[in-house]
């Protein structure tokens, strides 16, 4: 081989997801609960027969499986960590270890494909402590293949260990899950992805804005592999200097400041600003469906901030600048209105799957959300009325009738209807009195006698009620409403 060919091989590019794949448990990001359990199992010697790793793509299922295999077969372990330098660790990392067999369940899903595993179980490991079988995407195995593996999985030899990895744990047979220790790997938090990207950019001598790394992390949706692939693509596109605008233009994302500005326009009910922002995003080729999802997340963060206050920073995946924005916007609207806005956004996100005109649906929904943030609801009006009545003076109004049509006042109340027995008794008494020549002792009808006139308010009191600012605000919020009667208790 010539020197030119050797130099060409040395300059061969290695993709960032492969180059910076974790090699030890300490390098795994965002899966502390899984790492801690596996370490304790190794240190205490409580190694199960089979393990099942479940989680979305790009979060470290296969990587964790390989690290676990290295830790079990390492010749010179550092506690629970593999050394990464012994022959077994090197062979497992390069995929050529005789005692660690990897199987792709998506392409090897028949009984014939798992038969070599059943046969290999009978032989002890060649140069390691355990013979380990790693089956990736195991939910793709057929039912017949699982059944063929069932007995071996239930009672394997002490030197055999199984590790399964899948993105769809619900499709794995219940009889298999019951024979495994299941670990649910979670999506990696945005700030953890940003920290990892900063570390890699420092290693690769790449100058990248923090907002650009944040945009990459947002687009990755919790997957570290997706984030590293996107960073690799941006480096190929822009070289060793990456700005936020570069990341937004490549992936069709909306910048954090623009997203927060749109949320502020919704909270203010500024219809012109909402329509202008949506038009700019659409003309710039932004992913409108992604915009709807990110708006939903932003308003969810507002709800959490209002509930927890400053402590929400430990719960939310936000930066220091986002924290300041949430603190400001949380004061612009009460929690009930933000809940209703979030409900509208959730309905919109569901309808976006089937609608043809995405922009029209987003515009109409955001305009409705703006009205929710600014227009008083019926519950708020009733609460204002109750507050006004509670704060009124003892001699003030008992109630104000608010209606769109005048109600006739001064009509006496209808007399209470009498039952048939009461009418008969009254007739008998009247007849007896008349026959005896005595005047009737029956009380006159209350509708004609002993009627008390309701006390009237003075002109000054009436004018004070009419000038009340709270009452006027209520009247302005209900079109056509007016005061038709004022009565004193």
- The span from the CA of 298 to the CA of 406, in Å, is 47
Query: Residue 150: pLDDT above 70?
Result: yes
Instruction: Indicate the range of 6-15, 43-52, 449-458 predicted with least confidence.
Output: 449-458
Confidence of residue 407 (pLDDT cuts 50, 70, 90): very low
The full set of domain ranges for the chain reads 12-184, 190-251, 256-374, 379-405+455-488
Segment 374-390, tens digit of pLDDT: 877 677 777 777 877 77
Which has more pLDDT, 166 or 250? Answer: 166
Average pLDDT of the chain, as a whole number: 80
Architecture of the domain defined by 190-251: Orthogonal Bundle (1.10)
Confidence of residue 339 (pLDDT cuts 50, 70, 90): confident
Confidence of residue 274 (pLDDT cuts 50, 70, 90): very high
Query: Residue 51: pLDDT above 90?
Result: yes
Which has more pLDDT, 32 or 426? Answer: 32
Query: Residue 351: pLDDT above 70?
Result: yes
Instruction: Indicate the range of 240-244, 365-369, 424-428 predicted with least confidence.
Output: 424-428
Segment 449-458, tens digit of pLDDT: 444 454 566 7
pLDDT for 406 equals 42
CATH number of 12-184: 3.40.50.300
Query: Residue 129: pLDDT above 80?
Result: yes
Confidence of residue 69 (pLDDT cuts 50, 70, 90): very high
Which has more pLDDT, 150 or 317? Answer: 150
Which has more pLDDT, 414 or 123? Answer: 123
Let me know if the fold of 12-184 is the same as that of 256-374. Answer: no
Domain spanning 256-374, CATH class: mainly alpha
pLDDT for 324 equals 85
């Amino acid at each position: 081989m010539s020197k030119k060919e050797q130099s060409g091989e040395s300059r061969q590019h290695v993709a960032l997801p492969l180059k910076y794949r974790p090699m030890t448990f300490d390098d795994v990001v965002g899966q502390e609960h899984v790492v801690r359990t596996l370490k304790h199992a190794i240190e205490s010697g409580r190694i199960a027969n089979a393990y099942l790793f479940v989680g979305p793509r790009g979060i470290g299922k296969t990587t964790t499986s390989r690290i676990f295999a290295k830790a079990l077969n390492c010749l010179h372990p550092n506690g629970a960590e593999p050394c990464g330098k012994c022959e077994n660790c090197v062979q497992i990392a390069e995929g050529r270890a005789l005692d660690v067999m990897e199987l792709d369940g998506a392409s090897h899903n028949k009984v014939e494909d798992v038969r070599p595993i059943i046969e290999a179980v009978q032989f002890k490991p060649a140069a390691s402590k355990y013979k380990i079988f790693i089956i990736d995407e195991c939910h793709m195995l057929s039912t017949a293949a699982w059944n063929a593996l069932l007995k071996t999985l239930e009672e394997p030899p002490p030197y055999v260990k199984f590790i399964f990895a899948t993105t769809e744990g619900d499709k794995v047979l219940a009889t298999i899950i019951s024979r495994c220790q299941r670990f649910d790997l979670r999506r990696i938090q945005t700030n953890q992805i940003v920290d990892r990207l900063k570390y890699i950019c420092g290693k690769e001598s790449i100058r990248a804005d923090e907002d650009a790394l944040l945009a990459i992390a947002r687009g990755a949706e919790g997957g570290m592999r997706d984030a590293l692939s996107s960073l690799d693509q941006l480096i190929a596109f822009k070289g060793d200097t990456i700005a936020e605008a570069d990341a937004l233009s490549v992936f069709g994302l909306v910048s954090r400041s623009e997203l927060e500005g749109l949320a502020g326009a919704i909270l203010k009910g500024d219809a012109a600003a909402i329509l202008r922002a949506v038009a700019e995003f659409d003309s710039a080729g932004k992913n409108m469906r992604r915009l709807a999802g990110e708006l939903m997340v932003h308003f969810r963060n507002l709800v959490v901030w209002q509930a927890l206050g400053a402590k929400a920073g430990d719960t939310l995946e936000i930066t220091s600048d986002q924290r300041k924005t949430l603190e400001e916007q949380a004061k612009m609207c009460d929690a009930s209105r933000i809940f209703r806005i979030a409900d509208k956004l959730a309905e919109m996100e569901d309808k976006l799957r089937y609608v043809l005109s995405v922009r029209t649906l987003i515009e109409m929904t955001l305009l409705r959300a703006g009205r929710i943030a600014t227009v008083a609801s019926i519950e708020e009006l009733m609460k204002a009325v109750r507050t006004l009545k509670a704060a009124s003076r003892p001699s003030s109004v008992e109630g104000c009738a608010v209606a769109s049509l005048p109600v006739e006042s001064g009509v006496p109340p209808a007399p209470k209807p009498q039952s048939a027995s009461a009418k008969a008794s009254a007739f008998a008494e009247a007849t007896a009195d008349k026959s005896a020549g005595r005047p009737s002792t029956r009380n006159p009808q209350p509708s004609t006698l002993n009627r008390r006139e309701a006390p009237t308010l003075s002109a000054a009191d009436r004018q004070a009620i009419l000038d009340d600012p709270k009452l006027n605000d209520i009247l302005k919020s209900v079109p056509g409403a007016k005061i038709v009667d004022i009565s004193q208790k």
